[in-house]
Amino acid sequence: MKVKNLIVGAGISGITLAEKIADELREDVLIIDVKDHIGGNCYDYRNDAGICIHKYGTHIFHTNDKEVWDYLSRFTKWHPYMHEVKGYIDGQEVPIPFNLNSIRSLFPNAVADKLEQKLIEKFGYNVKVPILELKKAEDKDLTFLADYVYEKVFLHYTLKQWGIRPEELDPSVTGRVPVYISKDNRYFQDTYQGIPLNGYTAMFKKMLKSPHIKVKLKTKFEDIKNKISYERLFYTGPIDEFFNYEFGQLPYRSLKFDFVTLDKPYFQSNSAINYPNNYDFTRIGEYKYFLNDKSDKTTISFEYPLSYQKGRNEPYYPIIKEENQILYNKYFKKAQSLPNTYFLGRLGDYKYYDMDKAVKRSLELFKGIK
């Protein structure tokens, strides 16, 4: 079997690339995926209660990149949605990232007044401060706050989510959920935020409508690689797996979701509530909030982080730390020697991409090959 372009992985990275190649180059593309659906971990569907479910956990699209927003807007209208996350801290539901409103919820007014004043004097207003930076503050009140937030918000959540302490992670990861010196309760402050009006899967189907694109699901690359020839290969799977773990296995974290449909209109006060210090799960997502679905029932998911074990669960997140980056760089160097072979996506690039960054990466890669 011969194909012009073979794309391994029908997630957001592979789909974006397939659409661009088919639309602008008018070249044929075969996109394969081991899953039984398109969309990768962004896949969604409507359940029997009429609620749009994100099968692999809550996905909210957000970006400051107008090119990315405009590109995806060709394939969907958007449901405007500003995501807010709450954390269950000392018996209170408080905004996450931890902000000035969180302080007001948890501390007496006199203490909150002092902390707010000192934070603004030290760092300014509407500023995001990584927790590990706040811990360096040379002030007893700010040190008290940093220790409190570190213990109550970051430490145990990170241990559950990543299996290691915050100090062991790359700052690019720990900095994703800073202390926010603001009263803005939104989880993201990006210019463009929303959920595809008819869901992510409907958007992806439109992106794959070209007659130049063929999709083959429930198909492993290793099962067909000796039966197919191609001019270009785009690989969004784990880069270490591609090279048969020649230099060793890259570490990932996995997730398990327990979905429950309840015979009540709502379960919780918000779409996402984190539990840093209680239970084995990290958060509960409630899906009808995203598209304002109307139903007498509600569906929630309990999210359990797990160690990745090949063949037993899926790799979700690269664990970004120095020693893992050194190992990845060995694979990256070897990948560069392969002609017309490109790696991308969270697993191919071994990077913690948000959805918009994954799309941007595919758009930039396409510009390079075009």
pLDDT in tens, 190-245: 999 999 999 999 999 999 999 999 999 999 999 999 899 999 999 999 999 999 99
B/e letters for 145-165, b = 16+ CB within 10 Å, e = fewer, are: bbebbbebbbbbbbebbbeee
Indicate the DSSP class of residue 25: I
Query: Which 8-state DSSP code applies to residue 370?
Result: -
Fill in the amino acid letter for 161: Q
Query: What tokens appear for 1 in the block?
Result: 């079997």
Supply the pLDDT for residue 175.
61
What average pLDDT is seen over the chain?
Answer: 95
Nearest Cα residue to 168 out of 152, 151, 155: 155
Name, in order, each residue with C-beta under 8 angstroms of 224's C-beta and a sequence gap of 6 or more.
1, 32
Give the integer Cα–Cα distance in Å for 45 and 293.
Answer: 13
Place of tokens 């794309």: 7
Instruction: Convert the pLDDT of each residue in 148-162 to its tens digit.
Output: 999 999 999 999 999
Statement: residue 322 has pLDDT above 80? yes
Q: To 10 degrees, the CA torsion angle through 100, 106, 111, 115?
A: -30
Whether 170 has a pLDDT exceeding 80, the answer reads: no
| pLDDT of 184 above 90 | yes
The answer to whether the Cα torsion of 348, 354, 360, 362 is positive or negative is positive
Q: Is 224 helix (H, G, I), strand (E, B) or coil?
A: helix
pLDDT band, very low/low/confident/very high, at 359 (cuts 50, 70, 90)? very high
Reply yes or no on whether the pLDDT at 1 is more than 70. yes
Distance of CA 78 to the CA centre of its chain: 19
Convert the pLDDT of each residue in 62-119 to its tens digit. Answer: 999 999 999 999 999 999 999 999 999 999 999 999 999 999 999 999 999 999 999 9
CA distance 76 to 143: 47
More confident residue, 171 or 83: 83
Domain map of the chain by residue range? Answer: 2-79+194-251+315-369, 85-181
Residues 185/191/197/202 CA torsion (nearest 10 deg): -120
Which pLDDT value is given to residue 174? 66
- The pLDDT tens digits for 240-276 are 999 999 999 999 999 999 999 999 999 999 999 999 9
Number of other CB atoms surrounding residue 187 within 10 Å:
21
Q: How confident is the model at residue 137 (pLDDT cuts 50, 70, 90)?
A: confident
Query: Are 262 and 298 spatial neighbours (Cβ–Cβ below 8 Å)?
Result: yes
Round the CA-based radius of gyration of the chain to a whole number and report it: 22
pLDDT value of residue 368: 94
Q: What is the pLDDT of residue 173?
A: 72
> What is the layout of strands, in order, in the sheet containing 61-63?
61-63, 192-196, 78-80
Q: 185: part of which helix (H) or strand (E)?
A: none
Q: Return the beta strands (E) in the chain as ranges.
A: 2-8, 29-32, 44-46, 52-54, 61-63, 78-80, 85-89, 92-96, 127-129, 179-181, 192-196, 213-216, 229-235, 252-262, 272-274, 283-286, 298-307, 317-318, 341-343
The whole-number pLDDT of residue 168 equals 85
CA–CA distance, 126 with 86 (Å, rounded to integer): 19
Q: Token pair for residue 239?
A: 């880069």
| Residue 304: per-residue pLDDT | 98
Query: Whole-angstrom Cα distance, residue 49 to residue 301?
Result: 15
DSSP string spanning 72-88? Answer: HHTT--EEE---BEEEE
Q: Rounded to the nearest 5 degrees, what angle is found at the Cα of 258, between the Cα atoms of 252 and 260?
A: 155
Report how far apart the first and last C-alpha atoms of the chain are (Å, whole number): 24
Considering the domain 2-79+194-251+315-369 in this protein, what is its CATH number?
3.40.50.720
pLDDT value of position 176: 63
> What local confidence, expressed as pLDDT, does residue 257 receive?
97
Q: For 32-41, write each residue's pLDDT tens digit.
A: 999 999 999 9
